[in-house]
Structure 1
Amino acid sequence: MSKFKSVRAAVILAACLSAAPALAQEAPGAHISIELNAVEPVEDACRISFLVQNGHGHDIGQAVYEAVLFDTQGRVNRLTLFDFGALPAARPRVRQFVVPGLACASLGSLLINGAETCAGDNLPAGACSDGLALNSRTDVEVLG
């Protein structure tokens, strides 16, 4: 190996080792996942249940998402905030919201418009919105 190649390899190795602590704190591709798990009618309302997973290496103290509820014809029914509260790192949480005056059968889709609040220590910028993974186990489509 030439002297140039061994110096270059040493520089690359040193750069990788110096980056290791930062990489250990936040895994590449770390994100929040939100699954619409169930919708069920309750009196004159619709209970919407989500399964949420914080894939970051740090707890999130509070996560609030702005959501738009669309009817089955694609018209906006309402804009609301869903406060998912504290989301511990790497632990799933179920959050339920009762939306008054909403018939579950008329809910066609739900748009996560963005994170209104994302608070916690040592969180990277965009922790609650970058790479947000959305899916649904119901007939209601989740968009983002």
Structure 2
Amino acid sequence: MLNGKKGDDEVKRPALFQIAMLAFAGLVASPSFAQDAAPEQTSALSLELNAAQPSDKGCRLTFVVNNGLGSDLTKASYEIALFDDSGVVDRMTVLDFKELPAGKTKVTRFDLSGMDCTKISRVLVNGSNDCAGEGIEPSACMKALKPSSKTDIRFGL
């Protein structure tokens, strides 16, 4: 400020600041901005090997599965290969997860007769035998599969 008068720059700064703040507030409140800023969610079928415990029959594998495909699955089953502690395929079997509602988490257990849990080093999802539901492509159960394990057993594709 010279000679008690405000310069042109000093008058414009508060007005520009207010305009910028209003514009920013409008963007933040805008639903389309909020949607664009949210991370993109992808369809996934998460399959977690949660536990491997000895049972009367042999080894009980517990899986936690979440259907994030956006549609109910009326059938979902996978062929798996079980590797022994020396890395050799011990057996192959099909695990039938039956119905998997969209957006729901489900826990399923499978007893593998005559199998010693401590001898399983790896479980490989070899393929999908059944994958059906309204609007579901038969290949979706493999394409969207996200395997993980909470055990010492390696689990994956």
**TM range, smaller chain:** 0.7 to 0.9
User: Which amino acid in 1 is paired with 2:106?
Assistant: R
Deviations 1:74-121 (A, max 9, x none): 000100000001000011000100000100000110000111110111
**How far 1:131 sits from its partner (Å)?**
3.0
Report 1:71-82 matches (<5 A): 71-82=84-95
**How far 1:44 sits from its partner (Å)?**
4.2
In structure 2, distance between residues paired with 1:38 and 1:64: 19
Q: Which runs of 5+ in 1 are unaligned?
A: 1-26
In structure 1, distance between residues paired with 2:89 and 2:103: 34
Number of aligned residues = 118
**How far 1:28 sits from its partner (Å)?**
5.9
**How far 1:57 sits from its partner (Å)?**
1.1
Corresponding residue to 1:106 among 119, 138, 146 = 119
User: Which amino acid in 1 is paired with 2:51?
Assistant: A
SS of equivalent to 2:79 = strand
Q: Contact (CA 8 Å) 1:110, 1:141: kept in 2 or not?
A: yes
**How far 1:34 sits from its partner (Å)?**
0.4
Report 1:42-61 matches (<5 A): 42-61=55-74
In structure 1, distance between residues paired with 2:144 and 2:102: 16
In structure 1, distance between residues paired with 2:137 and 2:43: 10
Corresponding residue to 2:43 among 20, 30, 40 = 30
In structure 1, distance between residues paired with 2:43 and 2:142: 11
Q: Contact (CA 8 Å) 2:48, 2:149: kept in 1 or not?
A: yes
**How far 1:124 sits from its partner (Å)?**
3.5
TM-score (ref. length: structure 1): 0.78
By percentage of residues, which structure has more strand? 1
Sort the Cα spacing of 1:91 and 1:133 in 2 relative to 1 into closer, same or farther, 3 A.
same
TM-score (ref. length: structure 2): 0.72
**How far 1:125 sits from its partner (Å)?**
4.8
In structure 2, the residue matched to 1:134 is: 147
In structure 2, the residue matched to 1:9 is: none
Deviations 1:18-51 (A, max 9, x none): xxxxxxxxx8621211000001001240000000
Higher relative contact order (CA 8 A, sep 6+): 1
In structure 1, distance between residues paired with 2:68 and 2:101: 9
In structure 2, the residue matched to 1:39 is: 52
